[in-house]
Amino acid sequence: MLDPQPILASARRLQTIMSASLMLLTGSALALAILGISDPDRAGQTLARLAHFPAGEMAAWQNWGLMAVILIHLLVWGVLLTLARALFGQLAMGNPAGASGIARKLAYWLWFMLVWGLISQVIVSAVATWGFPAGQRAISIALGTPQLSVAFSALIASFMARAFALGADLWQDHQEVV
């Protein structure tokens, strides 16, 4: 007979890691919101630099636009971490059927994150360079390692959802036989 305790303990540890990550993410979002409220110019210029655009004088709407894009990213990450925490919680309780449904939602949100990441590149590049002289404005989109990693993660989550569903069916069949 297999001992499920090591797997359940690992799932509980991963659930704790996801909870800690969610708290760290929440703290980061609050820090960005406080910085945005107290000094929106500095926040906008910092975000433009982080997006690899030269930080010049920006209008208030540009600062708020960049902060809104980042806060949406943080919100999506929050949803992903919440779902991952719930997924590992279901596994820690030994409930593969519950984990299957959550893994399916996680896969959808990962695909959403990929699409939002591509759309937000266009938004950030347009907003950050809006006040530049003609010929220096930019609209950019890139497919690189981060986007491929998210796509790969979404594929793995989709596979996990199916594997958990199969595992739940096999477990139920096993329980009925025993």
Per-residue pLDDT tens digits for 21-46: 999 999 999 998 998 899 988 888 88
- Tell me what pLDDT residue 136 has: 77
Residue 130: which of 67, 64, 58 has the closest Cα?
A: 58
With a cut of 80, say whether residue 169 has pLDDT above it: no
What integer pLDDT is reported at residue 52 of this predicted model?
79
pLDDT for res 55 = 66
| Higher pLDDT among residues 2 and 75, named by residue | 75
Q: Each residue of 79-106: pLDDT tens digit? A: 999 999 999 999 899 888 888 889 889 8
Q: State both tokens at 30.
A: 């609050």
**178 band by pLDDT with thresholds 50, 70 and 90:** low
